[in-house]
Amino acid sequence: MASQILPLELIDRCIGSRIWVIMKSDREFTGTLLGFDDFVNMVLEDVTEYETTPQGRKKTRLAQTLLNGNNICMLIPGSEGPESDS
């Protein structure tokens, strides 16, 4: 059987690269992944937070940040987030 890769192994391979985090709410983050734990709490660097509101998208720049895993919905490795072309 072809070698399996577990979901958290996939995230582990993303350490050091850019990642796009989509929350359960209308909130998204991009940043460089420094690490994470079993709850998928994540440490990110050079972070941009995107808040999508009826008034438009609000961007916030952050330095090193610990993101609570409780509200994370989806992770997209190697992406620059909602403003990337791909």
Partner 1 sequence: MDESTPPPPDIDAYPPPPPPSAPTGTPTDFLKGVVGKKVIVRLTSGVDYRGVLSCLDGYMNIALEQTEEHVNGVVTNRYGDAFIRGNNVLYISAAEPL
Can you tell me the distance from the alpha carbon of 55 to that of 7, in angstroms, rounded to the nearest whole number? 35
Among 17, 52, 70, 84, binds partner 1 (CB under 8 A): 70
Tokens read off for 82: 């909602």
Closest CB 66 distance from partner 1, rounded Å: 5
Q: 3-class SS at 81?
A: helix
User: Quick check: 76 binds partner 1 (CB under 8 A)?
Assistant: no
DSSP state of 5: -
Q: Kindly list the residues in this chain that would bind partner 1 in the complex (CB under 8 A).
A: 15, 25, 27, 34-37, 41-43, 47, 51, 62-68, 70-71
